[in-house]
Structure 1
Amino acid sequence: MSMRIGLGFDSHAFKEGVPLVIGGLKIDHPQGLAGHSDGDLLLHAITDALLGAVCAGDIGTFFPPTDPKWKGADSTVFLETALEEIALAGYKIVNLDCVLIMHRPKIVPIAAEMRERVADLLGLELNQVSIKGKTPEGLPQDGTAVAHVVVLLESLDNGESGRKLALHADRPTESDIEAAITSIAAQPRDISALGRKVPAFDTDDLT
């Protein structure tokens, strides 16, 4: 059995006039997080951790912030692509550990609900997902939220790996990809056709 570890990081500044979404969970707060997509720094960090664990690049490789098609995009689309990449590589998630660092909102009161949401998005049991909230004591980041994520993967057994890979045996054509992007724009939850690599772009974080 092969094991792999992935490390993810993301940060976003708080911004007036946008909704706050962390871990796929909409949170009642007077400020949201600035970003090219929906600013969900936790899902961005998880996505990067998963992609990094299988050496598939990072979130900017697949969804460059210079591409207007991802403006305001639901970050669950990014996460689904990362899940497809680890399945194609023949791995599955063992567990992940997440740390959110910010002054406000307080994470502890909503950590349980956030864990449930992340576990659901990843198809995991609740005891495979840890989310902790910390305050940036002594650090000048009052207007910024930071996320750190570590993920552990293990290789699939031969039978399970074969079934996963069979689902993706037919590589999509360029027209398939364009059709998928059009579909995503109309129905953000329809993400079954994503997961193909595109030429490398500037891999700066989504901001």
Structure 2
Amino acid sequence: MSMRIGFGFDSHAFKPGVPLIIGGLEIDHTEGLAGHSDGDVLLHAITDALLGAVSAGDIGTFFPPSDPRWKGAASSLFLRTSLEEIATAGYRIVNIDTVLVMMRPKIVPIAGDLRQRVAELLEIKPSAVGIKAKTPEGLNQDGVAVAYATVLLESIDDDSAPKAIAATADVDEVNSVVESLVVQVRDTQALGRKAPVFDTDDIT
């Protein structure tokens, strides 16, 4: 079994007149976050961490800010694409740890809800998700939200699958499954996959 570690970072300025979306949740606040998509700083950091762990590029590789299709898009779409990439690479999430840095709103009262929502989106247990909050004391970043994310992945043990099949299936069923695995050509291009273009512009 092999392990991979990924690190992600994102930041957005606050902007009036738009909803505040963090971790896939709409949060009651006077301002939202500016961005090409919905500005979900937490999901963007997690997405980049997952993509980076399997050397698949970053959000801009899949969803360039120059493409109008992603204007106002839900960041859960970006996250699903990163999950597709790690599955294609043969990995799954062990755990994830995140830090949100912002002066407002206060994250601690909603940290449990955020943990639950992120766990649902990642299809892992809430106990495998860490959500922490800090304030940017002395950094003059009161109008900005920043997120950091670190993920640990483990390789999927494919050896266990044939054993499970053999224990419950007859010979014809096993042969059918094996034939499909050998013959079928799998499309390894996940949703939005394109040749990497590492644009220094922020996707959102």
TM-score (norm 2): 0.85
Q: Distance in 1 between matches of 2:89 and 2:161?
A: 9
For residue 26 of structure 2, give the secondary structure of its aligned residue in structure 1. Answer: strand
- Alpha-carbon distance change, 147 to 89 in structure 1, aligned in 2, over 3 angstroms: same
* TM superposition shift of 1:160: 6.6
Q: Distance in 1 between matches of 2:96 and 2:156?
A: 17
For residue 94 of structure 2, give the secondary structure of its aligned residue in structure 1. Answer: strand
* TM superposition shift of 1:158: 1.2
> CA-atom RMSD, angstroms?
2.1
Equivalent position amino acid for 2:194 in 1: V
Q: Distance in 2 between matches of 1:206 and 1:128?
A: 27
* Equivalent residues of 2:37, 2:75 under 8 A apart: yes
Counterpart in the other structure of 1:43: 43
Counterpart in the other structure of 2:187: 171
Equivalent position amino acid for 1:31 in 2: E
| Structure 1 outlier segments of 4+, above 3 Å | 159-163
Q: Structure 1: any 5+ residue segments left out of the alignment?
A: 174-193
> In terms of Rg, which structure is larger?
2
**1:30 equivalent in alignment to 2:46:** no
* Equivalent residues of 1:61, 1:203 under 8 A apart: no
Counterpart in the other structure of 1:108: 108
**1:20 equivalent in alignment to 2:20:** yes
Counterpart in the other structure of 1:189: none
How many aligned positions are there?
184
* TM superposition shift of 1:200: 2.8
Counterpart in the other structure of 1:200: 196
Q: Distance in 1 between matches of 2:94 and 2:191?
A: 21
* Equivalent residues of 1:87, 1:161 under 8 A apart: no
* TM superposition shift of 1:170: 3.8
Equivalent position amino acid for 2:203 in 1: L
TM-score (norm 1): 0.84
For residue 96 of structure 2, give the secondary structure of its aligned residue in structure 1. Answer: strand
* Equivalent residues of 1:22, 1:40 under 8 A apart: yes
* Equivalent residues of 2:6, 2:53 under 8 A apart: yes
Counterpart in the other structure of 2:117: 117
Q: Distance in 1 between matches of 2:191 and 2:50?
A: 13
* Equivalent residues of 2:88, 2:188 under 8 A apart: no
Counterpart in the other structure of 1:187: none
Equivalent position amino acid for 2:109 in 1: P
Q: Distance in 2 between matches of 1:152 and 1:172?
A: 22
Equivalent position amino acid for 2:187 in 1: R
Equivalent position amino acid for 1:23 in 2: G
Equivalent position amino acid for 1:206 in 2: I
Q: Structure 2: any 5+ residue segments left out of the alignment?
A: 163-176
* Equivalent residues of 1:44, 1:78 under 8 A apart: yes
* Equivalent residues of 1:40, 1:75 under 8 A apart: yes
